[in-house]
A and B are shown apart, each in its own frame.
Chain A
Amino acid sequence: MTSLGNYASASVLECNNMICNTLTANNLKSIYGQFELSQITIAEGTFTTIGNWIPNTLVKGVSVQAGEKFYVSEAGVYEIHMNLHLGQGSTDITRVDTRLLLYPYGSVFGGSVIKVSTAADMTNFTQNNTAHIEITDPLNEYFEIEAKVAFTPNSPYFQIDFTRVFIKRIA
């Protein structure tokens, strides 16, 4: 007697078991997360980790610790999108560096630079970026987003409205 009573043949049960085992082994879980800033975040003149990240409602299997360290719950390949919006009060932004690093190694997996040699008349700037990262040890590996900004003389900051990080497992 089986769980399907007299209607279940051995081959059907075997097939069911194979499907269950395969699906379980494939670990079918969607992991994703979107994060934004809880407050405007001052940019520094040297590479500094951007903090104050908080998840919005679109989060499953991704967490942020200490407001700056992104952890995922499972090993895999992850696609990461960054939209970093930098604003300033009144004067020029002359250089913006952003980058994505995987820790504990400190490896750079993506980033960008905009730089002008003289005054740019630039008071707002948005850096978009994308990268793939492979996580093999989800307990100890995490990533951070760093930035540095050259400016005169005000203190530029990453704005709340447009600054986002989106993470999705793809493999």
Chain B
Amino acid sequence: MSSLGEYASAGTIKCNKLIAESIDAPSLKSQIYGSWNLSQNQDADILPTAISGWQSVITPNGITLNGGNTFNVSQIGIYNIQVVLQATNVSSIDVADGSITDTLGVNYTGALHETIGGNSHLENIQLCFSSLVQITNIATGIQVQGFISASANTPQWNKTYSNISIHKIV
């Protein structure tokens, strides 16, 4: 006996089950997502600066990259933002800092690696951080800011491992 009693066929029950499942797992084909890495190694600034030069790793759905450094989504909602920044320098890295921000100036989260006295012998360090960001106005763009302080040479954000992934979850 099903919820529809004697009138329910196997097909109807199957349909009901599919509908119930769809409530728990939203349609995958309507998801909004994207993943980008750097098209080339980017010289890092010594002050917090929006990192530019992103290129898509997989074909994005519902997210556009504007001006090389700003990600705009096509729908309001809550997004999971995941960032990996790979900092490199020939000699020591004193400070490496990265954060998720938006074009309104909100800073959501980030990561910081800092050493004392500029003598860390640190040549490569990775910053990995993530945040949920609620977008209430699709004109608001998402950015990744970063800076590196080094005692010599020109530190860079490495193109191979620096990445941002965005995925709408609600």
Query: Which A residues are within 8 Å of any B CB, using their own CB?
Result: 3-5, 7-8, 16, 19-20, 23-24, 26-30, 76-77, 79, 95, 99, 108-118, 120, 127-134, 169-171
Contacts and interface: CB of A to CB of B under 8 A. Distances in A.
A77 B58 contact: yes
B58 A116 contact: no
A4 B15 contact: no
Which one of B35, B57, B161 has the highest number of Cβ atoms from chain A below 10 Å of its Cβ? Answer: B161
A63 to B, nearest CB: 20
Nearest to A115: B124
Contacts of B61: 171
Interface of B: 4, 7-9, 11-12, 14-15, 18-19, 21-22, 25, 27-29, 31, 33-35, 57-59, 61, 82, 84, 86, 88, 91-92, 120-126, 128, 130, 158, 160-161, 163, 165, 167
Contact of A171 (B29, B57, B126): B29
Contact of A134 (B59, B120, B161): B59
A112 B12 contact: no
B163 A131 contact: yes
A171 B92 CA distance: 41
